[in-house]
């Protein structure tokens, strides 16, 4: 498959349907209801949601990933992140995470937090490479019964190095 660069843009109301379907595919019993995405998009003062697109077969952009941040300084929280399986391993999650950590920094966050399942080594590795550290375990946090690992990144210590090569091929673009 050709490795077309991904483009990031802010999530729009029209993305909510496709993103809810993608979330169900990626997270199964732990997926979010559509209303939750709508509520998140309705709170831009404390939230930023983005999508990643690549050129589709018909030349039109195809949405292949999404991610969301809640930020109430001094804490930012990565609420969710996902990439379609066929587009994994291209640095798309890395680019989205870098964008949201940068957003948290712009909004005055000192730390960025997230939860990841203890049964998700792929995502844990992604976060570790950014410098996130495991600080706490929430027993049976997820509906599938798995533990949640709480991870924290000090924004001041973040250099963006983990995302450097992804950032070269990814632009951020607001659709408005």
172 binds ligand COA (CB under 6 A): no
Query: How would DSSP label each residue in 82-118?
Result: EE-GGGTTSSHHHHHHHHHHHHHHHTT-SEEEEEEET
Among 94, 104, 148, 158, binds ligand COA (CB under 6 A): 94
4 binds ligand COA (CB under 6 A): no
47 binds ligand COA (CB under 6 A): no
Give whichever of 71 and 148 is closer to ligand COA, judged by the CB atom.
148
Looking only at the bridges linking them, the beta strands covering 47-55 and 75-83 are unpaired
- CA-nearest of 30, 11, 157 to 96 is 11
CB of 4 to ligand COA, least distance (A): 13
Element of type H or E holding 27? helix 16-27
Q: Which residues bind ligand COA (CB under 6 A)?
A: 26, 81-83, 88-94, 116, 120, 122-123, 125-126, 129
């Amino acid at each position: 498959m050709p490795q077309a660069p991904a483009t990031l843009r802010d999530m729009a109301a029209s993305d909510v349907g496709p993103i809810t379907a993608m979330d169900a595919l990626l997270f199964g019993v732990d997926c979010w209801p559509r209303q939750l995405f709508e509520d998140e998009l309705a709170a831009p003062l404390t939230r930023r949601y983005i999508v990643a697109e690549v050129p589709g077969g018909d030349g039109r952009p195809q949405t292949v990933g999404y991610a969301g941040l809640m930020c109430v300084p001094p804490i930012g929280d990565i609420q969710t992140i996902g990439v379609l399986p066929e587009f994994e391993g291209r640095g798309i999650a890395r680019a989205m995470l870098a964008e949201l950590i940068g957003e948290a920094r712009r909004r005055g966050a000192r730390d960025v937090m997230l939860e990841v399942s203890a049964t998700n080594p792929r995502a844990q590795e992604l976060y570790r490479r950014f410098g996130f550290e495991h600080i706490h375990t929430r027993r049976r946090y997820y509906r599938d019964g798995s533990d949640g690992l709480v991870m924290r990144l000090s924004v001041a210590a973040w250099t963006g190095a983990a995302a450097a090569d992804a950032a070269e091929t990814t632009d951020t673009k607001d659709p408005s």
